[in-house]
């Protein structure tokens, strides 16, 4: 088939590369406009745009996919199908209706669970044991379209959202190509999503990433892992923000108040609403990330000092 590929961030790159290596022809790529990045805040192409440029493929960067210039060009291209992965914008019905086989969305959850912008993060936050990815027919509703196929993925106890999303981006890319093959062959027809089991996964905010030390240790662990790498879990110490990397759960001896810090040879322990956790890397405000033990050595802690106080 002649396809228009839509996507923007790094997580969409494996899918674009997989489609480029398939029997289908990528005639153009739709991505978000160049955005400021780095210390110099220079306008930088999206990861998907960079791969498309390497492959010599036409790149479409409308401010919004309802822009008349984009819709006109889409009509001229007349793709058979439009695979879409983490594009970052709503596709209007006028564009949805152009490809003969519609738009096929690769979504990183097992729909109808975790509809929305942050399915992997919410799966980690919720403590799901199993998640996955699915391909479905894009429609105007929020991730409500009928499903073509799925792959499953175990959520490991130490997985961050970044770890899990990386694995799903690879297995999902294979699923997307198999879906396109099945659509062209006439072997696949999408099936409606179940009415039960719907859950929503809105984008996480900075406030969502603020660690509450009065919560149980398991909740603290999930918040930190679910918000790594973005938006980045954090707490405060001596009035300044302290970013947190994944922690280790510790059972047994405790006796620490929520947020209370104890520095030992085995590591930096912090009290929670249940039992202590051991800090991994931390990043003080204006500094680089470092092991918690290195951070703690220069503190001269006062007895009873706490994180989040």
Residues 116 and 228 both lie in one domain: no
Question: Is 54 a domain residue?
Answer: yes
Give domain status of residue 305, yes or no: no
- The per-residue pLDDT for 249 is 92
Asked if residue 88 is part of any domain, the answer here is yes
The verdict on 41 and 180 lying in the same domain is yes
**Cα 109 to Cα 6, 17, 31, 102, distances in angstroms:** 19, 21, 22, 21
What percentage of residues in the chain have a pLDDT greater than 90?
Answer: 90
Residue where one domain finishes, among candidates 153, 185, 217: 185
Nearest to 49 by CA among 80, 9, 89: 9
41 in a domain, yes or no? yes
Query: Do both 29 and 101 map to the same domain?
Result: yes
Q: For the whole model, what pTM was predicted?
A: 0.94
Q: What is the pLDDT of residue 40?
A: 78
Q: What is the pLDDT of residues 75-116, one digit of tens each?
A: 999 999 999 999 999 999 999 999 999 999 999 999 999 999
Q: Is residue 194 part of a domain?
A: no
Query: Domain check: are 162 and 222 in the same one?
Result: no
Q: Strand 290-291 and strand 281-284: pairing?
A: antiparallel
Residue 162 exposure: Cα atoms within 13 Å on the Cβ side: 11
- Mean pLDDT, residues 151-164 taken together: 98
pLDDT tens readout for residues 108-140: 999 999 999 999 999 999 999 999 999 999 999
Q: What percent of the chain has pLDDT over 70?
A: 99
Mean pLDDT taken over the chain: 95
Least confident of 62-66, 93-97, 226-230, 248-252: 248-252
What's the whole-number mean pLDDT along residues 132-159?
A: 97
Among candidate residues 185, 220, 237, the one where a domain is terminated = 185
Same domain, 127 and 264: no
Looking at the 3D structure of the chain, how many domains does it have?
2
pLDDT tens sequence across 244-298: 999 999 876 678 999 999 998 878 999 999 999 999 999 999 999 999 999 998 8
Same domain, 32 and 154: yes
Cα–Cα dist 283/266, whole Å: 20
SS3 284: strand
Q: What's residue 254's pLDDT? A: 76
Highest mean pLDDT among 13-17, 286-290, 303-307: 13-17
> How confident is the model over 194-211, as pLDDT tens digits?
999 999 999 999 999 999
Q: What string of H, E and C letters represents the secondary structure of the chain? A: CEEEEEECCHHHHHHHHHHHCCCCEEEEEECCCCEEECCCCEEECCHHHHHHHHHCCEEECCCCCCCHHHHHHHHHHCCCEEEEECCCCCCCHHHHCCCCCCEEEEECCCCCCCECCCHHHHHHHCCCCEEEEEEEECCCCCCCCCEEEEEEEECCCCCCHHHHHHHHHHHHHHHHHHHHHHHHHCCCCCECCCCCCCCECCCCCCHHHECCCCCCHHHHHHHHHHCCCCCCCEEEECCEEEEECCCEECCCCCCCCCCEEEEECCEEEECCCCCCEECCEEEECCCCCEEHHHHHHCCCCCCCCECCC
Task: Based on the fold, state whether residues 179 and 134 are members of the same structural domain.
Answer: yes
Same-domain status, 19 and 98 = yes
Q: Is residue 107 part of a domain?
A: yes
In the predicted structure, residue 173 carries a pLDDT above the cut 90:
yes
Three-point CA angle 265, 247, 221, nearest 5°: 145
Do residues 224 and 281 share a domain? yes
Domain with 112, as residue range(s), is 2-185
One domain for residues 97 and 239: no
Binding residues: 109-112
Residue 301, pLDDT > 70, answer yes
CATH of the domain at 286: 3.10.25.10
Same domain, 173 and 44: yes
Output the pLDDT for position 253.
64
220 and 264 inside one domain:
yes
Binding residues for (6S)-5,6,7,8-tetrahydrofolate: 109-112
Q: How far is CA 184 from the centre of its chain?
A: 29
CA-to-CA distance for 29 and 52, rounded, in angstroms?
7
pLDDT band (50, 70, 90) for residue 178: very high
Mean pLDDT of 41-50: 94
d(CA 146, CA 137): 6
Give the pairing type, strands 2-7 and 25-30.
parallel
Look at 15-19, 38-42, 57-61, 170-174 and tell me which has the smallest mean pLDDT. Answer: 38-42
What is the average pLDDT across 162-173? 98
């Amino acid at each position: 088939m002649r396809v228009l590929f839509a996507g923007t961030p790094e997580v969409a790159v494996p899918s674009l590369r997989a489609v480029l290596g398939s029997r289908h022809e990528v005639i153009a790529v739709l991505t978000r406009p160049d955005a400021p990045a780095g210390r110099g805040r220079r306008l930088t192409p999206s990861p998907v745009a960079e791969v498309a440029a390497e492959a010599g493929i036409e790149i479409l960067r409308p401010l919004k996919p309802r822009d008349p210039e984009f819709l006109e060009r889409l009509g001229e291209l007349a793709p058979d199908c439009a695979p879409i992965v983490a594009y970052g914008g709503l596709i209007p019905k006028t564009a949805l209706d152009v490809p003969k086989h519609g738009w096929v969305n690769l979504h990183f959850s097992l729909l109808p669970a975790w509809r929305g912008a942050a399915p992997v993060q919410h799966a980690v936050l919720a403590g799901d044991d199993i998640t996955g990815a699915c391909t479905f027919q894009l429609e105007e509703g929020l991730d409500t379209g009928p499903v073509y196929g799925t792959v499953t993925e175990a959520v490991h106890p130490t997985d961050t959202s970044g770890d899990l999303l990386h694995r799903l981006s690879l297995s999902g890319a294979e699923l997307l190509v198999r879906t396109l093959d099945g659509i062209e062959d006439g072997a696949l027809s999408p099936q409606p999503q179940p009415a039960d089991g719907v859950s929503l996964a809105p984008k996480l905010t900075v406030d969502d990433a603020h660690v509450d030390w009065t919560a149980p240790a398991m909740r603290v662990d999930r918040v930190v892992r679910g918000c790594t790498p973005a938006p980045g879990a954090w707490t405060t110490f001596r009035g300044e923000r302290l970013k947190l990397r994944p922690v280790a759960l510790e059972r047994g001896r405790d006796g620490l108040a929520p947020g209370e810090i104890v520095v030992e040879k085995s590591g930096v322990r912090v009290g929670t609403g249940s039992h202590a956790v051991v800090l991994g890397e931390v990043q003080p405000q204006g500094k680089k990330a470092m092991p918690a033990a290195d951070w703690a050595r220069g503190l001269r802690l006062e007895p009873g000092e706490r994180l989040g106080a």
